[in-house]
Amino acid sequence: MIYNIGHRAVYSLNIHLVLVTKYQRKVINQAMLKRLQEIFEGTCAKWRSKVTEYNAESDHVHLVISYPPDVEISKLVNNLKTVSSRLIRKEFNEHVNRFYSKPVFWTGAYFVASCGGVTLEQLKSYVEKQSSPDC
């Protein structure tokens, strides 16, 4: 396992993030798919984070993001959604306007889960096997 080294922490934090288009409309085409990856990677870099996996279908995207412990996930996700929506609507305006009459792109909700490293069962077993100090 590879760990990141920060000023006061050694860490390996990863999330699986799924963003869904508004009304699950199948709006994402190949050109948008590539551009979204560039936008997500650039935005994550500004947050000292990294997109380690990326894939998408016509109505949603999957990202695995590695991030430092001082980054608030909700703020990172909201920034990713805001920046990507604004730029995609600007750069693919004619295409997106066929699906949406209002300035929207992503649904308000998202899915996020921690991922990577050991399983919860492995961690529980490790903690249970630690010896307690004698009092």
Task: For residue 35, count CB atoms less than 10 angstroms from its CB and return exposed for 0-12, middle for 13-18, buried for 19 or more.
Answer: middle
Q: Residue 129: inside a domain, yes or no?
A: no
| pTM summary value | 0.88
Q: Residue 33: inside a domain, yes or no?
A: yes
Q: Which residues form the domain of 42?
A: 4-116
Q: Residue 98: inside a domain, yes or no?
A: yes
pLDDT at 125: 84
Q: Residue 94: inside a domain, yes or no?
A: yes
Tell me the pLDDT of the chain (135 aa) as tens digits.
Answer: 788 898 899 999 999 999 999 999 999 999 999 999 999 999 999 999 999 999 999 999 999 999 999 999 999 999 999 999 999 999 999 999 999 999 999 999 999 999 887 777 877 887 788 765 665
Q: Residue 14: inside a domain, yes or no?
A: yes
Q: Residue 22: inside a domain, yes or no?
A: yes
Q: Residue 121: inside a domain, yes or no?
A: no
pLDDT at 3: 87
pLDDT at 129: 81
Hey, CA dihedral for 33, 35, 41, 43, is it positive or negative? negative
* Residues 113 and 18 sit within 8 Å (Cβ to Cβ): no
Residue 66: strand pairing partners: 14, 50
What is the CATH classification number for the domain harbouring 48?
A: 3.30.70.1290
Q: At 85, which amino acid appears?
A: S
pLDDT at 135: 53
DSSP 19-74: EEBGGG-----HHHHHHHHHHHHHHHHHTT-EEEEEEEETTEEEEEEE--TTS-HH
* Residue closest to 48 by CA, chosen among 25, 30, 67: 67
pLDDT at 128: 80
Q: What is residue 115's DSSP assignment?
A: -
Q: How many structural domains does the chain have?
A: 1
